[in-house]
């Protein structure tokens, strides 16, 4: 989608419905394990620097619950002795932090110059078609598109730092390089079976 056709950010966020991916992730709740883990993270940093743990805590929540919901922002703010607005400022800054739940399998497709040279853009369109999402729903305000069944989500990302072996995609935490249509077909089939 080009910059000139961008819809209004506020409209997009106001219209956002709960993601179908939410059924694959447990809802956020503060458990003793979570508090324990949070203490461990805070202890990694020098004394009195609890705020440094904000990114590790965000990752902790995001890995388990898929995204950062308003309740978790409150919890993170309380845990690192900050304010919710400060944590929200961090959450909204980083492209790697999601405010909407992804699908069970979250695909990141690189479309920066080196991957684009080896066909990343075409691959992005193909994967969208393959998992049944409309690429037009991926905008700057909401870069991620989730499939109807909540099994898949897709996001176009900038540079996965494996430029020599493009096009690169990531499914959850695993990188797949030198992709083509056949390899994508095989991967989608493999992951669908896992689900």
Partner 1 sequence: MKAMSEITYKPGREPHSRETRRIFRNIDRVGYNPSIECFIEDGGYETLKKAVAMEPAAIIDEVKKSGLRGRGGAGFPTGVKWTFIPKGNTKPVYLVCNCDESEPGTFKDRFIVHQDPHQLIEGMIIACYAVQAHYAIIYMREEFPEAAEIVRKALAEAEERNFLGKNILGSGYDLKIILHRGAGAYICGEETGLINSIEGVRPYPRIKPPFFPAAIGLYGCPTIVNNVESLCQVRQVLMRGGEAYAADGSTRSPGTRIIGVSGDVQRPGYYEIISGSITYGELLYDLCGGPKPGRTFKAIIPGGASAKVMRCDEVLKGRNPDGSVRKMTIFDVPMDLDSIAQHGSMSGSGGVIVMDDSRSMPEMLRNLNRFFAWESCGQCTPCREGNPWMLKLSTRICEGKAAPEDVDLLKSVADNICGRTVCAFGEACSWPVQAFTTKFREEFLALTKPINALKPHNPETAEARKYLTRED
Place of tokens 């203490």: 39
Nearer to partner 1, 89 or 132 (CB): 89
Long-range pairs, 133-139, Cβ under 8 A, ≥24: 135/1, 136/1, 138/1, 139/1, 139/6, 139/7, 139/12
* Min CB(37)–partner 1 separation in Å: 14
What count of Cα atoms within 13 Å lies in the side-chain half-sphere of residue 130? Answer: 22
Q: Which of 193, 23, 5 is nearest to 101 (CA)?
A: 23
Contact between residue 186 and residue 130 where contact means Cβ atoms under 8 Å apart: no
Contact between residue 110 and residue 158 where contact means Cβ atoms under 8 Å apart: yes
Q: According to the binding rule CB under 8 A, does residue 113 interact with partner 1?
A: yes
* Min CB(6)–partner 1 separation in Å: 9
What character string, x for contact with partner 1 (CB under 8 A) and - otherwise, covers 62-91? ------------------x-x---x--xx-
Tokens standing for residue 115: 């991957």
Q: Which stretch binds partner 1 (CB under 8 A): 107-115, 131-139, 145-153, 186-194?
A: 107-115
Q: According to the binding rule CB under 8 A, does residue 58 interact with partner 1?
A: yes
Q: Which of 12, 30, 37, 56 binds partner 1 (CB under 8 A)?
A: 56
* Min CB(62)–partner 1 separation in Å: 9
Q: Which of 173, 182, 193, 194 binds partner 1 (CB under 8 A)?
A: 173
* Min CB(132)–partner 1 separation in Å: 25
* Min CB(24)–partner 1 separation in Å: 18
- What DSSP string describes 54-71? HHHHHHHHHHHHSS--HH
Q: According to the binding rule CB under 8 A, does residue 93 interact with partner 1?
A: yes
d(CA 81, CA 58): 14
Residues in contact with partner 1 by the rule CB under 8 A: 2-4, 44-46, 49, 51-56, 58-59, 80, 82, 86, 89-90, 93-97, 108, 111-114, 116-118, 140, 157-166, 170, 173-175
């Amino acid at each position: 989608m080009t910059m000139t056709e961008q819809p209004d950010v506020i409209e997009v966020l106001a219209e956002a419905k709960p993601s179908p991916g939410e059924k694959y992730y447990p809802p956020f709740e503060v458990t003793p394990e979570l508090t324990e883990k949070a203490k461990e993270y805070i202890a990694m940093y020098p004394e009195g620097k609890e705020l440094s743990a904000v990114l590790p805590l965000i990752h902790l929540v995001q890995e388990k619950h898929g995204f950062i919901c308003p309740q978790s922002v409150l919890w993170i703010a309380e845990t690192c002795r900050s304010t919710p607005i400060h944590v929200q400022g961090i959450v909204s800054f980083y492209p790697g932090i999601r405010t909407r739940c992804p699908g069970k399998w979250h695909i990141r497709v690189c479309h920066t110059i080196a991957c684009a040279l080896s066909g990343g853009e075409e691959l992005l369109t193909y994967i969208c078609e393959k998992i049944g999402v409309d690429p037009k729903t991926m905008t700057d305000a909401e870069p991620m598109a989730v499939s109807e069944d909540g099994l898949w989500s897709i996001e176009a990302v900038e540079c996965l730092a494996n430029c020599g072996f493009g096009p690169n995609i990531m499914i959850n935490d695993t990188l797949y390089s030198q992709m083509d249509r056949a390899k994508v077909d095989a991967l989608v089939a493999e992951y669908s079976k896992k689900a």
